[in-house]
Structure 1
Amino acid sequence: MEPLVADLVDVHAEGARAIAAVGADQWSLPTPCEDWDVADLVRHQVMGHRVFTALLAGEPVDRATMWGELGEVDPAQLTTLFVESARDLERAFDAPEALARRITLPIGEVPAEASLHLRLAETMVHGWDLARATGQQPHFPDDLVEREIEASRQLLQRVPAGHSPFGSPVGVPDDAAPLDRLAALLGRTP
């Protein structure tokens, strides 16, 4: 398994652990993502897994239909859907020559390896969002978070104006925790 894919497996495992710890009364809590409650945040992650899996396979993606279908899912099923869609994405990224491909995202065409970095950063930041909303503590390795801060900075420099899927970076002290710095880079206020 490619080292970056192994990192994704680890990040997904921590995401699944945090989602499984969401209490039945917490699914409707607000998150740092404006307009999303905890259930919507997890639905968004499942949709992201499915979208990137389809893109890596060269299949068409209908985001509106996907979101509509996920909106009908009972929150009690979201942990299972997260795990299943994460495994599918891991297999897609680990397929022969997968990281050598180019895929088209709303921000433009990017190497699949850059999209893998995007998935790593997004999963960690949404783990941060989930933790803030539900009173949990995310557990992502600091060295991995530091690498994804740098990868995210490089990717953000290539995003055309007005096409960023993230909020504007927020200033934080240099000595802030790595995950707080990543979250701030992607528009969160730690």
Structure 2
Amino acid sequence: MNAAPQTPDPRPALARATEQLAELLDGLRPGQLDAPTPCAEFDVRALLGHVTGVADRFANLGEGGSVVGPGVPEWAAGLPAGDWPDTYRRARERLLAAWRDDARLEAVVTAPWGTVPGRIALSGCVMETVVHGWDLARALGRDPGLDPEPAALALATAERAVPAGSRAHIPFDEARPVPADAGVHERLAAWLGRDPHWSPGTAGRGTGTA
């Protein structure tokens, strides 16, 4: 019997996903912080606080600590638009450094969804980073050209981790249908309950968080 395939090393996808998100922050304007996003409970400011918090919590995990922490750090509410690029980049650099040691991928860690090998936990971080990168790109009108490679790992992770059926006890709406030729970001967004066609003009129809 063949062994089950091992989850690939998620670090290259994480590096690209976080780099791409950081690039989206270049030129962020103050008036964009209050803009809606595909996550109904997050405007752009809260979304940025959330993704920075995710990076910090998973850095903690890679350093041997805990992922426990607020969904959106309190300090995010007062951070000016011009400070967000460097703030996120610092969190990104710490996150990537925390997982540089190959041994961390096999070490057992306690992620928000259970006790798993590090590579499984970090794949969840890729999923969050990619889908929230799509959220941000949509909110800023900058989603064309998003890199499909990290999204492919994110989608595979989402399809394993998030059930197709009832989602009553997890922070995602039901999966939405997409056409067969939909791109990987649209398929990921739809699987996680988002409207893959969301735009600022459809705000108010945003969907689940996380």
The C-alpha deviation readout for 1:29-63, integer Å capped at 9, x for no partner, is 01111121111111100000011111222324552
Q: Please give the alpha-carbon distance, in whole angstroms, between the structure 1 residues aligned to 2:149 and 2:19.
A: 17
Aligned partners of 1:12, 1:65: CA distance in 2, in Å?
A: 18
- Over the aligned positions, Cα root-mean-square deviation in angstroms equals 2.4
Q: Which moved more, 1:82-91 or 1:133-142?
A: 133-142
Retained in 1: the 8 A contact 2:30–2:80? no
**Deviation sequence 1:105-124 (CA, Å, 0-9, x none):** 33222221112211222111
1:125-144 aligned at under 5 Å gives the runs 125-144=131-150
State the AA in 1 paired with 2:115. E
Residue of 105, 115, 125 corresponding to 1:119: 125
Q: Does 1:148 align with 2:148?
A: no
CA distance in 2, matches of 1:98, 1:138: 34
2:95 corresponds in structure 1 to 89
Q: Which residue of 2 aligns with 1:74?
A: 80
1:5 equivalent to 2:5? Answer: no
Structure holding more helix per residue: 1
2:48 to 38, 42, 47: 42
Which stretch shows the higher mean deviation, 132-141 or 13-22?
132-141
- 5+ unaligned residues in a row in structure 2: which ranges? 1-7, 197-210
Q: CA deviation at 1:85?
A: 0.4
Q: Which region of structure 1 is more displaced relative to structure 2, 119-128 or 44-53?
A: 119-128
The answer to whether structure 1 residue 55 and structure 2 residue 77 are counterparts is: no
Q: In the alignment, is the contact (CA less than 8 A) between 1:169 and 1:185 conserved in 2?
A: yes
SS in 2 for 1:103: strand
Amino acid aligned to 2:26: A
Q: What is the aligned counterpart of 1:171 among 171, 177, 202?
A: 177
Which structure has the larger Rg? 2
The one-letter code of the counterpart of 2:126 is L
Partner deviation per Cα, 1:114-148 (whole Å, 9 max, x = no partner): 12211222111111111211111253332442233
Instruction: Give the direction of change, closer, same or farther, for the CA distance of 1:169–1:40 in structure 2 (3 Å limit).
Output: same
How many pairs align? Answer: 187
TM-score, length basis structure 2 = 0.78
Q: Distance in 1 between matches of 2:120 and 2:66?
A: 20
Task: Report SS of the residue matched to 1:63.
Answer: coil
The answer for unaligned runs of 5 or more in structure 1 is: none
**Is the 2:167–2:174 Cα contact (8 Å) retained in structure 1?**
no
